[in-house]
Amino acid sequence: MIRYGMGLLAVGVLATGGIAACSDDSGGDLPPPPPPTGGATGSGGAATGAAPGNGGATGNGGAVTGGGCVGECCPSDNKCYSSSAGKTAPGAECMARHVNPDPTEKPAKGHITMRQTWIRVMEPPGNTIAIVYGALNAYTSLPEPSCNTPTGTSGYMQLTDMDLTDPDPTKHTSTVGYATFVENVDSTIAEGACFGTVGAPGWIQKAPFPLTTDPPQSFALPENMMSDSSAYPPGLPKPMAQGTKPWTMGPTVAARTMTDFDVKTQRTELLASFAPGGSREGKGGVFYFDETAGTIHGYSPISWQIFYDARTGTETKPSSGFLLPIREAETKFKTNNPKQPTCIGKYRSDFLTMANDCASPAPENPAWGGIFNTTPGESDAEITGYFLITELEQVYSKVLGSTLCVSYPAGTVTIDQGFSTAADKRCRATGKFDGSKPNNEGLPMGNWCAATNSAATPTCHDAWRSRSFHAFQGFKIKTSPCPVEWAPSVP
């Protein structure tokens, strides 16, 4: 069986990075890993970068036309591409299902819509291991054996929709979020995926604890346990206590700016524009789109991820899942072809071979990659941000039996620091956890500081940085969002 090189399907910690996430209270109950179908080693004995004519990589930042999908591991089923032209269809190098901009849409610019097809998390540490990589890429894939994704579960699909229909470019928007669970692949491809939303009364993490046979309990924290936000710049949302206000979410809608920005030097100015009274009050973020170069740069003070649990028993769709906020999410994308922005990155058909079962489970040498950034394990889409420790502590993984506050650092870090124990894998286990203490004295040592959006210090270490690489394919998206199917709610 040909398949994307996703590696083993994880039965544990899940992650994201970037406008992406992790945990597995909701990605938790994964099916057992499928048996290997060939000695996939990740080496393949072929080129490690993009080859001319196989995605048309030039590395010089110029326009790239694609070149189709070339190689023995390209799917032969035409439904895996944007048209009956199959391997030579527009966007075939990323197996796009939809051409951007839509030639049937008026005005011509219309919408540019894509979905994530691959992710590699570089940070935080707990989400960088190969088994997590395999799980995330199974969850971000559709279950399509003929398109090389037989283990796809469609429980973690990031979507992006740039609306360029207004004649006034300052009124253009970019919507980023996660799809509702895909039950019917064919109808979703034909009609479009749908952005998931969670409205009132909101969501609180609940799971059986401490034993899997125990009744569900809440993992919410009260307001007085949140980390200190007194040094936050105006416009940066304060830590959110589920016990005070259950989490609600929807896709992030960003406004277009006609000049690019630098988060490092303009962070305070950018955040202030989203604060009450600011020029972007009520907006979820900002984005810059250089249509000539095909580059997209986005930034939002807070964005949300949705992750669906695996189906159990006779379920046709998951009955549970989780939400996770990511702070100061910054996206840097470069489309393959500015005149036809249908792909970001490509399927590395020049690297995969039948000899290695068209698979590459090694995150550092994956089945997907970039056209311009040809470093194996990286790509032309990078997302950075950070997760607050006090919010990670409110999301629990049923499979790992731990909160994300414990799993993100990996290993025994929180045990060694005196917050969790071998028997109780919550950062609040010993009573030492207290986000309200000055200088973050009541928090485990993270590697990031939210107040400055920079590396942690001894007196500010309240977050874990997130960094990841991605690939995207043209894909239809519905204009109206949908409620998540597992309908999280507060009893």
Query: Which of 353 and 426 is assigned the larger pLDDT?
Result: 426
Reported as a single tens digit per residue, the pLDDT across 356-385 is 888 888 899 999 999 999 999 999 999 999
Looking at residue 93, what is its pLDDT?
A: 96
Instruction: Examine the pLDDT at 331 and tell me if it is beyond 70.
Output: yes
Of 22 and 243, which is predicted with more confidence? 243
Model confidence band, residue 27 (pLDDT cutoffs 50, 70, 90):
very low
- Please say if the pLDDT value at position 3 is more than 50: no
pLDDT at 142 over 90: yes
| Per-residue pLDDT at 52 exceeds 60 | no
- pLDDT: is 57 or 392 the higher one? 392
Tell me, what's the pLDDT at 141?
94
pLDDT score for 154: 92
Which is more confident, 126 or 20?
A: 126
Mean pLDDT score, 345-364: 88
Supply the pLDDT for residue 349: 87
The 10s digit of each residue's pLDDT in 404-433 is 999 999 889 999 999 999 999 999 999 999
pLDDT tier for residue 490 given thresholds of 50, 70 and 90: low
Alpha-carbon span 190 to 97, nearest angstrom:
9
Predicted confidence at residue 106, as pLDDT, reads: 65
Residue 74 in this model has a pLDDT that exceeds 70? yes
In whole angstroms, what is the distance from residue 390 CA to residue 126 CA? 17
CA distance 433 to 441: 9
Residue 28 clears pLDDT 90, i.e. is over it: no
40 pLDDT more than 80: no
Mean pLDDT of 255-263: 97
pTM of the predicted structure, to 2 decimals: 0.87
pLDDT: which is higher, 396 or 108: 396
Overall average pLDDT of the 152-173 stretch = 94
Asked if pLDDT for residue 325 goes beyond 50, the answer is yes
Using the Cα atoms of residue 481, residue 484, residue 490 and residue 491 in order, give the sign of their dihedral. positive
pLDDT of residue 320: 84
